[in-house]
Chains A and B, each alone.
Chain A
Amino acid sequence: MATTAEMAPPQIESATGRGWSSSRLSDGQFATLLTVPVIVALLAIVGYPTAYSLWTSLHRIDLIFKRNEYVGLANYQEALTSPALGHALVVTLYYTALVTGFALVIAVGGALVLNEKFRGRGFVMALVILPWAVSLYATAIVWKYLYSAEWGMFNAVLQGLSLVDRPVNFLSESLAIPAVAVAHAWQIAPLGMYFVLATLQVIPEDLYKAAKVDRLGLFGRFRHVIFPYIKAPLLIVMVLVTVEAARAFDLIFFMTGGGPGDVSTTLTWEVYRVFYKNNQYGQGAALGWLLVLLTTAITTVYFLLLFWRRRERPDTAAAADLTIGET
């Protein structure tokens, strides 16, 4: 049956034909038709829990006695004034800064290498995306095993080379956050690398020649030729990585459990702790909202950056954006 339907000559509806036709619609109407059902469905799925979460954050919930008491903004006040929140914010900032720093170095370094011509370049280019495919929880497990004091690879190598006498405890109080941040950067950097690489590839060859004429060294070339081009994309990658770092949960869950002590208790972990360990639902919801506020704020910056870039440099942005037609 299906085949006959396919083989039938296509019915060509003219714009003035009878009955309903999508061609009669304006761009705006057609767009509304396409988008609104999905957006409404999405909002319906997310909407109720979100509203519920807002409601929860304004109440003191007692699941055992089924008593819910309206407390206004008390949960927010409590959350905002608790020392735990201040600590979690500091940890989150520290962690986010480290992940972003590491990831940018890896992304730019990797992109600069991949922009050179060398044998096996195609292979390396395909290989570097691998960490991005690894889930965050698997990343956490892998790195926990690399860091292990009893049988971890890093300690095996360090001790084999006699660089340390006894195994380093990578997840100790002082090293836990940097150690987790390195793992996160490993996982997240490849996307940034590809993005920066796409930008590097649109830098006109002439600029490199001019740099040669001016006898610029490696650093000078980076400073004066490459950097002006990758400045905007770098900023975008930076903001994107910042959001990802701020919402990191899997890595903390598997690698440190917020510890040792509360050393790696990020905002996400604090929400989890208040919700699930202390069962303070109202305060947990309030904290959750603060967290959403934070990520939304960073995302807004990201979004504005994309728009600003579009306006500032339409030429390079467009060229770096999409070259899929060439493949």
Chain B
Amino acid sequence: MTGRRLLTYGFAALLVIWTLVPIYWLFTMSMMFKTELLAIPTHLYPHEPTVSNYTRLFGGTAIGPGGAELPVIGQAPIIQNGLRNSLLVAVVVTAITMLVSLPVAYALGRLQFRGRTPMLFAIITTRSYPPIAIILPFVLLYSQVGLQGTVRGLVIVYLTLTIPMVIWVMTSFFSSLPRTVEAAARVDGNTRWQAFYRVILPMSWPGIAVATAISFMVCWNEFVFSQFLAAGSPAQTLPPAISTFFFQISQPTEMAAVSIISIVPPAILAYLFQRRIRNLNLVDPL
């Protein structure tokens, strides 16, 4: 018995290490001066921890290890602008997505009708197409109608990602509610519509919260569309800004700090909602 317990703890430790090591390393790098990063042998933790890679992203300067002043990071305005755009796009898209998707998910999750199966299939298919395969027509279309490099353009194209995702998740949630709920509400004199928003909706806040979080994360983490539809424009979100930073004047310690910042919002959401994500089946909503 103790042998098995030991084994369990051993594997649990392994699981934690596996999960955390990459993030630990990114964080460690972000807390180093670039001179320390190049030390031989490589330091496995910052011997001279510094937050300068973060402060220099937001307009601060810092004193380096040799006493020299480190200037503000040159790409800082682009990164800040990217952060603002990412937030704006994610919030707007998520708001529209929730309004639009909930009724559809309700129908798919609780009503029997012809066309339900094909509709589910269409939704899962739109969820699985590779953006890179259809990006070119979007680029050409967008440059014709003036949506290239605009926040509006990004919002429109992100809706095609989030709406199927949220419909998928919420269909799963709605179909998990007890079968008799609407019937009871209808007996009490509610119309179908009232049964939906007076009875079903208030029961559904847990699911709606998760779906909102997921929609936000999908937008926040999206790279391909923003790279090809908005890179280099004032509307570019954080990922293409990071891509520029990464490929042009990449200073790994500063890059690590930016990456950590990009990870924080979705990580917080995932942590807050992990119990619900675990219970809400994201893999199989049928």
Contact = CB atoms under 8 A, between A and B. Distances in A.
Interface in B228-286: 239, 242-243, 246, 252, 255-256, 259, 262-263, 266-267, 269-271, 274-286
A212 to B, nearest CB: 12
A299 B128 contact: yes
Contacts of A15: 191
A160 B177 CA distance: 55
Interface string A293-327: 00110111011001101100000010011111111
A186 to B, nearest CB: 7
Main DSSP-derived SS at the A contact region = helix
A156 interface: yes
Interface in A109-163: 109-110, 112-114, 116, 118, 120-121, 124-139, 141-143, 145-146, 148, 150-153, 155-157, 159-160
Interface stretch (B46-54, B55-63, B104-112): B104-112
Interface string A189-218: 001101101100000000000000000000
A46 interface: yes
Contacts of A317: 284
Given A42-B163, A192-B283, A310-B286, A130 B134 contact: no
Nearest to B29: A145
Contact of B274 (A109, A129, A247): A129
A99 interface: no
B119 A35 contact: yes
Contacts of B221: 135-138
B41 interface: yes
A98 interface: no
Contacts of A298: 128
Contacts of A295: 128-130
Given A130-B267, A303-B121, A327 B284 contact: no
B22 interface: yes
Contacts of B135: 275
Contacts of A310: 286
Given A28-B113, A271-B133, A302-B124, A142 B42 contact: no
Contacts of B41: 156, 159-160
Main DSSP-derived SS at the B contact region = helix
Given A56-B136, A309-B284, A322-B172, A31 B107 contact: yes
A138 B274 CA distance: 20
A169 to B, nearest CB: 15
Contacts of B125: 296, 299
- Give the interface centre of B37, B189, B222 by most chain A CB atoms within 10 Å: B189
B23 interface: yes
Interface in B114-132: 114-116, 119-122, 124-126, 128-132
B44 A157 contact: yes
Contacts of A27: 111-113
Contact of B278 (A39, A110, A197): A197
B133 A236 contact: no
Given A306-B286, A325-B176, A30 B107 contact: yes
Interface stretch (A17-25, A71-79, A82-90, A223-231): A17-25
Given A120-B12, A160-B41, A132 B132 contact: no
A262 interface: no
Interface in A33-60: 34-35, 38-39, 41-42, 45-46, 48-50, 52-53, 56
7 contacts: A22-B192, A127-B19, A128-B15, A137-B221, A138-B221, A141-B242, A300-B121
What 9 pairs between A and B have smallest CB-CB spacing?
A135-B221, A322-B176, A133-B270, A156-B42, A247-B130, A288-B133, A49-B137, A31-B113, A28-B113
Given A116-B8, A281-B136, A303-B120, 13 more contacts: A28-B114, A31-B107, A45-B156, A118-B8, A118-B9, A129-B277, A135-B222, A138-B242, A138-B259, A146-B22, A151-B37, A151-B38, A191-B282
Interface of B: 5, 8-9, 11-12, 15-16, 18-23, 25-26, 28-29, 37-38, 41-44, 100-101, 103-104, 106-108, 111-116, 119-122, 124-126, 128-138, 140-141, 156-157, 159-160, 163-164, 172-173, 175-177, 186, 189-194, 198, 206-207, 217, 220-224, 239, 242-243, 246, 252, 255-256, 259, 262-263, 266-267, 269-271, 274-286
